Amino acid sequence: MQAFDEVHRAIHHPPDRRFRVWINPWLIVAFAVFALAPVAIAWGQYLIAGLPAQTFLPPTNLDNPPTAHGFPAWLRLTHFVNFFFLILLVRSGLSILMDHPRLYWNRDCTPNSEWMRFTPLEVPTDREWTAKEDARYISPWLALPGYRHTVGMARSWHFLSVYGFVLNGFIFVALLFFTDQWKRLVPTSWEIVPGAWRAFVYYATFHMPMEPNGFYQFNPLQQLSYFTVIFVMAPLSVLTGIAMSPAIDNRFPFFPKLFGSRQGARSIHFILLIGYLCFLAVHVGLVAVTGFVRNMNHIVTGRDDAHLVGMILGLIAIGLVVLSWVLFHFIAWKYPRTMQHLHEAIDGLFHWNALSRLKPNERYTEEDISPFFWPNGKLPTSNKWKQLAANGFQDYKLKIGGLVENPLELSLEELRAQGKEEYISTHHCIQGWSGVAQWGGLPFKRLIEIARPKPEARVVAFYSYGDALYGGEYYDTQRIKTALKAKCLLAYEMNHAPVPEEYGAPLRLRVENQLGYKMVKWIERIEFVETEKALGKGEGGKNEDDEYFDILPNI
């Protein structure tokens, strides 16, 4: 579907495109017990006492129908818009997931501690294995934008879809309670619980209960299902998404703990995705078997009759959604920069003015340090870095220049002499993994005092000895004003020892309210500039230039 040059093909369309789902066997057993127990009880009731009497529905008087009945135009429209954005969220979410195809309940992301993975590979122990290498290919027929290492593009689509999904949801709920339609969805009596169970016994034992005309009322199980999806699952999806934000987590460390950890929130977020798909399959199946033509007329034209117009228009609308996947694939790969800028324009004000102002407030102890911390990025191939590494970076000099009053070079010993700050924090990678580590180094604000940037300097660029994904010098930028609000550190120490080579030796950046790719490793030099627009392709960093990442990733 997409033509790549040789460099991009090696990354996006690798030879090994195997896909395999592995789930911890204990969780399979637990899920089977949890999910099958109600079915077993229902069958036991059926075999012993027969089907329950169908007394779970009050009779409907069509001469004097319930106050809330029918499907007004606003409900039919928001129902379709919700379907449209939900599919976008699922497809873009799958692309994001494949960049770290492992799900955990623990905070540390130690290999083989995952409860589910979407890769046939176990992390090798005989050589270094980076998080980038661990990413998997996913077909663009299934995901948006699909292929491999497209997390930056996928995030643009995912967050733009989130805004549409949430806005549509607010409109739906507001109109629900401004009208009588809420009475069809919100239970008002505990009698719905035994009524829902009686309906479940019918479905679980492959019998169809006496279905009401959905134009006027739902059976209790349907009502509870719709209520759960709208008022439980949808808010929980939003909250677990927020719980993966480094700015939120590091400012309000209690919040991700509500879900166990950041990784717990990520796992719940995925389980909710599966829940939506299961609900959609059952929902569509029941629509089909309980009178497809009439049901389609209900939700498409708002009429309670068996004319074919509703079915025809509904199928056309579903077909257009499917065709939109082809259009969005074309847009994703033909105009990725446009989507990146659109995401930035909509997202940017909130990030710059709200999330970036949050000062990290996390509190960890030595016992919280992760036993494993994923390495990411290939070690530098430059001869200069290799020579420096060979003698323990004794000859290393950090170059500080650009728009400063005091350009200078500092060795590691001189950096240490300027002062030290240390803390323990959670690292949040854009790929999805996290880890807790201790960091020690020179505070960025102290570097400001030493270099004395000129008034026109608003941005600081960090250049690496390492290479970017597609080749070329790796760099990234920070707005000076933004970095000073967070715990910003030039770290030469990790877990009370010099930063190891695979984690960025001799010097790496830490900015604790942002995602990890902004924290440049193997720093060669630092330059103060007026704007990031004058560097690279003008997007604020090498990942932003080539992989369409966010310039300010607080979530």
Would you state the pLDDT for residue 66?
A: 67
Q: What is the distance, to the nearest Å, from the Cα of residue 483 to the centroid of all Cα atoms in its chain?
A: 24
pLDDT at 423 over 90: yes
pTM across the whole model: 0.94
Which burial class, exposed, middle or buried, applies to 159 when counting CB atoms under 10 A from its CB (0-12, 13-18, 19+)?
middle
Q: What is the distance, to the nearest Å, from the Cα of residue 143 to the centroid of all Cα atoms in its chain?
A: 14
Which burial class, exposed, middle or buried, applies to 18 when counting CB atoms under 10 A from its CB (0-12, 13-18, 19+)?
exposed
* Order of all β-strands in the sheet with 398-402: 408-410, 398-402, 523-529, 459-467, 473-479
Q: What is the distance, to the nearest Å, from the Cα of residue 118 to the centroid of all Cα atoms in its chain?
A: 16
Interhelix angle 151-178/336-353, nearest 10 degrees: 60
Of 21-25, 168-172, 189-193, 264-268, the one with minimum mean pLDDT is 189-193
Q: What is the pLDDT of residues 496-542, one digit of tens each?
A: 999 999 999 999 999 999 999 999 999 999 999 999 999 999 999 99
pLDDT at 67 over 80: no
pLDDT at 436 over 80: yes
Would you state the pLDDT for residue 201?
A: 94
Q: What's the token pair of residue 115?
A: 């409860």
User: What DSSP assignment string belongs to 199-267?
Assistant: HHHHHHTT-------TTT---HHHHHHHHHIIIIIHHHHHHHHHTT-HHHHHH-THHHHTTTSHHHHHH
Mean pLDDT value across residues 19-36: 91
Q: What percent of the chain has pLDDT over 90?
A: 80
pLDDT at 409 over 90: yes
Residue 117 vs residues 12, 112, 113, 330: alpha-carbon distances, Å: 20, 9, 10, 29
Average pLDDT over all residues of the chain: 92
Alpha helices in 382-433 (DSSP H): 383-390, 412-417
Q: Pick from 14, 241, 27, 263: which is nearest to 134 by CA? A: 14
Tokens 């950046």 belong to: 509
Q: What is the pLDDT of residues 50-62, one digit of tens each?
A: 999 876 666 666 5
Would you state the pLDDT for residue 219?
A: 87
The DSSP bridge pattern shows strands 398-402 and 488-494 to be unpaired
Q: What is the pLDDT of residues 79-103, one digit of tens each?
A: 999 999 999 999 999 999 999 999 9
Q: What is the pLDDT of residues 198-228, one digit of tens each?
A: 999 999 999 988 778 878 888 899 999 999 9
Interhelix angle 309-334/151-178, nearest 10 degrees: 150
Domains of the chain by range and CATH?
6-52+74-334 (no CATH), 363-547 (3.90.420.10)
pLDDT at 65 over 70: no
The DSSP bridge pattern shows strands 434-443 and 497-498 to be unpaired
Would you state the pLDDT for residue 211?
A: 76
Would you state the pLDDT for residue 215?
A: 83
Q: Pick from 150, 151, 360: which is nearest to 246 by CA? A: 360
pLDDT at 68 over 80: no
pLDDT at 439 over 70: yes
pLDDT at 465 over 80: yes
Mean pLDDT value across residues 329-354: 88
Mean pLDDT value across residues 20-26: 94
